[in-house]
Every structure is written in C-alpha cells, then in structure tokens.
A and B are shown apart, each in its own frame.
Chain A
Amino acid sequence: MTETNNFSKNRLVNWFKFSSPATFYPVAGKLIPFFWILTALFGAAGLWISFFVAPVDAVQGQAYRIIFIHVPASWMSMFIYLVMAAWAGLGLIFNTRLSAMMAQALAPIGAWMAFLSLWTGAFWGKPMWGAWWVWDARLTSELILLFLYLGFMALQAAIDNPRRADKAGAILALVGVVNVPIIYFSVKWWNTLHQGASVSLTKAPAMAQTMLWGMLLMALCFWMYSIAVGLMRVRTIILEREAHTDWVRQLNEVKN
C-alpha cells in the first residue's frame, strides 16, 4: 500500500490532478492555441500536397482529390466515437465529472465528422458512380454511426439532471461501442448478399506515395482540429456546469 503511494508521489505527473475541472480549465486554455497552430501547419502541408504535388489519378481524374477530406473525416468519425465511449466509461468507473464532460464535448464533433464524411462521399460518388448515394456497406454503417451520435446527443439533451445525463449517455455510448462492429459486419454481409458488387470500395487501388502522404497529413490536421475544438467545447461546458463555484467566479473572463 505504501509502495503504491510512494509510486504515485514519485511520478512526474499525477494524472488524476487534471481530472478536476478547476485544474484542467487553465491547462486546456493554454493547450488550445498550440493545437490550432498544429492544425494550420498540418492543414497547409496536407492541402499543398493534395492539390499541387499529388498526381492526377489515372482513372478518376481530378475528382479523386476529395479523398483528402473524405477519408480523414471518416477515420475521425469512427475514432472519436471510440474516444468518446472511453471517456464515458472512465466517467462511469471513476465518477469523474470531467470525463463525462469530455464525452459530451466530443459527440458533436464526431457527428460533424460523420456528416462531413457522408457529404463528401456523396460529392465523390456522383461523378464516379453516377449516384449521390449507394447502399454500400461502408456508407450504410457510416450513416448508422451518425444515428448513434445523434441518439447520444439527444439523450443527453433530454435529461435535465446533468449527473444522470452523463451516466445514461455513458451507458448508451458503451452499448454503441459494442454494437458498432456487429452493425458493421451485419451491414457488410447484407450488402454482399443482397446486391451484386457494382461498386467496390474495399479494393483500394495502389496509391501513389504522395497521395498517401497528403491523406496522412490531412488526417493529422483533422485530428489536431478535433482536439482543439474538443478542448474549447469542454471549457465552455466546464464554465456552464461549474458556474456556481468560486473558482469560476474568480476567472478574469467571467469577472469582466
């Protein structure tokens, strides 16, 4: 027992210290500009590569370039759901207020990414397949992911008591995480059985190195953007929920 105590004292950073909104709020405020700068840097580099360096695709011409927005948005929409559920689970286990606030802050960003992915997918699909929408497994499961985000947000918005909203949302997010692979595979099998594979999204053509770099840089840009916006949102939520506390009243931005 004493050993573990010593251990936690000897660590450089005690992570639980940051689970208090009062300590986290200023730290997040300092981190936000840093992540915005990274967003701008990665975005500039990624866009430069994707528009000026990456070659024109042999089959798809210029229109393929939407991939540099579309694929990062899809990745982020899935990844943010996992992160959101992880925060929600932490909140449920450790009963930390901040974890639930993080989950609440991330949900709209994830929903936005899922929407962006569907939207850019439609723009990409129209010139390539001649259709805005195809009942492909990936498209369908992305749509369902958007529904899961909307359900999470609707549940949190409908419950007045924030503590109950946090816990109910956490349960829903965890149930969703278990269901996402089941839904994905069921949609995939449904798709292969019900339709001839008129469009194959799964066989990615061998990609030029520069295209891959553009995509990775854009993914990093989206990642940093999500963190920056997530921190900004969580700061707002902290102010909203902790409005009754002294430390919030002492803040310069609140006093003025």
Chain B
Amino acid sequence: MSALLAMIHRDLLLVMRRKSEVLTALFFFIVVTSLFPLGIGADPALLRKIAPGVIWVAALLSTLLGLHRMFAADDADGTLEQIVLSPQPLVLLITGKIIAHWIVCGLPLVILAPIIGIQFDLDLSSLLVLMATLLLGTPVLSLLGSIGAALTLGVRGGSVLMSLLILPLYIPVLIFGAGAVYASSVGLDSSGYFSLLGALLILALAFVPWVSAAAIKIAIE
C-alpha cells in the first residue's frame, strides 16, 4: 500500500515540476468545448441538447492527450525497467501510475465541467449529474488508456496509434456518461446509467491493471 502511495506521490511531484503539460490538456478541453457553439450557433435549446455529448467527447480527447506521458518518460530514462524489477508487485505500481494520471487529467475535468456546462446553458441538476458521471467515468478512461499507453510504448507514431486503439474502447463510457446527462436534462431517471458506469468502473479496476502490467512487461523485455 505504501508503494502505491509512493508511486502516486512521485508521479504527482513530477507533474508539479512541469505544470505546462497538464495545463495544456485542460486548456484543450476548454477550447474544444468552446468551439462547438462557434461552429453550430448559439441557440440555447440546441446547445443544451448537444452539451452532454460535446463535453464528454472533449473529456475523452483531453484524457488521451495526457496518456502518452503515463509511461513514455519513465521508459525513456530507464525508470520503468527499475519499476518492473522492483520487489513490489508491478500491478500495484501500475495502479499507482493510473491513479496519478486520473488525479492530473481526470479530476480537473470534473471540476471544470460545470463551468463549461454553464456555457451550454445546462440547469443545476444536469450540472450535478454531469459532474457525477465524469467522476465515475474518467477513472475508467485513465484505466483503459493505460492499456493503450503500455502497448504503444516506444512505438513510432505511438500517440496517434494509441488514440486509434483506445477510442473504440471508450465508446461505452461515452454513451453512458452522456446518456445520463441527457436523460437528466429532459427530466428522465438517470440512475440506470450510473449503475452501468459504476459497473464499468468496477470491471476496469478489477482487470485493467493486470492487463497493463502484462503489456508493460512485453514492451520492456
């Protein structure tokens, strides 16, 4: 457990030393969502309708931006090999890296989302639902993304390739996340979506760290 915390602490510390990378991803999130009203028009009824989808798609894309950083820098300077060789279970350390990625790339989206939601004229209850879906959904994005990041480690054109591999796997999260917000904005019950998002999170938490650890070992050997 202390190894997990140490890994999270280390990764967060590294991020804090170079804040620009993280801020770029967040800025990207804001810019992309702001482009849609400019492209589609500022009709509030239309904006309310597209808001869940737009915000969720932007969240998927900005999570992708930070993913290549998850293992690439550690791979380049040899830290990753030391992590694999260390006596601590690799799965635990990988989980630590995934959690750190989520804190850096997922959690800020949850906090920023209401501001974007206001731009899209969402009401208060929809904003809360949006935040809650992002809170449940973004960890799944970080988890699934770690598989892509591990598989494309050191591969040429890695980050573009990673988007190609990972985006299809993100589709269920997108559907349930945006669906919950949409259902709540038209006054329907959204609890079913939350159960499904929760189920995805539990499944991903249970299996993905092992898959990513296997993928790291393949990339390293």
For A137-150 the 0/1 string (1 means CB < 8 A from B) is 00000001001101
User: How many B residues, CB 8 Å from partner?
Assistant: 29
Bound Cα distance from A151 to B161, whole angstroms: 8
Q: Would you call B18 an interface residue if the criterion is a C-beta within 8 Å of the partner chain's C-beta atoms? A: no
User: How many A residues, CB 8 Å from partner?
Assistant: 26
Contact in complex: B169, A158 (CB < 8 Å): no
Scoring A148, A168, A187 by chain B CB atoms within 10 A of each residue's CB, the highest score goes to A168
Q: Would you call A126 an interface residue if the criterion is a C-beta within 8 Å of the partner chain's C-beta atoms? A: no
Chain B residues with CB under 8 A of A40: none
Contact in complex: B155, A159 (CB < 8 Å): yes
Q: Would you call A189 an interface residue if the criterion is a C-beta within 8 Å of the partner chain's C-beta atoms? A: yes
What's the A-B contact tally at a CB cutoff of 8 Å? 71
Q: Would you call A183 an interface residue if the criterion is a C-beta within 8 Å of the partner chain's C-beta atoms? A: yes
Bound Cα distance from A172 to B218, whole angstroms: 12
In the complex, what residue of chain B is closest to A140 when comparing beta carbons? B171
Bound Cα distance from A183 to B167, whole angstroms: 12
In the complex, what residue of chain A is closest to B172 when comparing beta carbons? A186
In the complex, what residue of chain A is closest to B53 when comparing beta carbons? A194
Chain B residues with CB under 8 A of A193: 179, 183
For B143-184 the 0/1 string (1 means CB < 8 A from A) is 000010001100111100100110111011001100100110
Q: Would you call B214 an interface residue if the criterion is a C-beta within 8 Å of the partner chain's C-beta atoms? A: yes
Bound Cα distance from A118 to B167, whole angstroms: 20
**How far in angstroms is the closest Cβ of chain B from A236?**
24
Chain A residues with CB under 8 A of B155: 155, 158-159
Contact in complex: A164, B168 (CB < 8 Å): no
Contact in complex: B211, A144 (CB < 8 Å): no
Tell me the chain B residues, 177-221 only, with Cβ under 8 Å from chain A.
179, 182-183, 196, 200, 207, 211, 214-215, 218-219, 221
For A163-174 the 0/1 string (1 means CB < 8 A from B) is 010011001100
B contacts with A: majority SS = helix
Contact A190-B151, Cβ < 8 Å, known A148-B168, A154-B164, A168-B218: no
Q: Would you call A175 an interface residue if the criterion is a C-beta within 8 Å of the partner chain's C-beta atoms? A: yes
Contact in complex: B214, A186 (CB < 8 Å): no
Q: Would you call A5 an interface residue if the criterion is a C-beta within 8 Å of the partner chain's C-beta atoms? A: no
Contact in complex: B175, A167 (CB < 8 Å): no
In the complex, what residue of chain A is closest to B164 when comparing beta carbons? A151
Contact in complex: B171, A183 (CB < 8 Å): yes
Which of these, B152, B169, B171, B175, contacts A155 with CB under 8 Å?
B152
**How far in angstroms is the closest Cβ of chain A from B173?**
9
Q: Would you call A182 an interface residue if the criterion is a C-beta within 8 Å of the partner chain's C-beta atoms? A: yes
Contact in complex: B211, A186 (CB < 8 Å): no
**How far in angstroms is the closest Cβ of chain A from B151?**
5
Contact in complex: B179, A168 (CB < 8 Å): no
**How far in angstroms is the closest Cβ of chain B from A100?**
12
In the complex, what residue of chain B is closest to A141 when comparing beta carbons? B171
Q: Would you call A256 an interface residue if the criterion is a C-beta within 8 Å of the partner chain's C-beta atoms? A: no
**How far in angstroms is the closest Cβ of chain B from A57?**
34
Which of these, A150, A158, A171, A194, contacts B211 with CB under 8 Å?
A171
Q: Would you call A179 an interface residue if the criterion is a C-beta within 8 Å of the partner chain's C-beta atoms? A: yes
Bound Cα distance from A187 to B176, whole angstroms: 10
Chain B residues with CB under 8 A of A151: 164-165, 168
Bound Cα distance from A171 to B166, whole angstroms: 13
Contact in complex: A175, B168 (CB < 8 Å): no
Contact in complex: A158, B157 (CB < 8 Å): yes
In the complex, what residue of chain B is closest to A193 when comparing beta carbons? B179
Chain B residues with CB under 8 A of A158: 152, 155-158, 161
Which of these, A154, A175, A178, A189, contacts B161 with CB under 8 Å?
A154
For A190-234 the 0/1 string (1 means CB < 8 A from B) is 100110000000000000000000000000000000000000000
Chain B residues with CB under 8 A of A187: 171, 175
Contact A186-B171, Cβ < 8 Å, known A155-B152, A164-B219: yes
Contact in complex: A175, B164 (CB < 8 Å): no
Contact A189-B175, Cβ < 8 Å, known A154-B164, A155-B165: yes
Pairs A-B, 7 closest by C-beta atoms? A186-B172, A190-B175, A167-B218, A147-B168, A151-B165, A186-B175, A158-B155
23 contacts between A and B (CB under 8 A): A144-B168, A144-B171, A147-B168, A154-B164, A154-B165, A155-B161, A158-B155, A158-B156, A159-B155, A164-B219, A164-B221, A167-B218, A168-B151, A171-B147, A171-B215, A175-B211, A182-B172, A183-B172, A186-B172, A187-B171, A187-B175, A189-B179, A190-B179
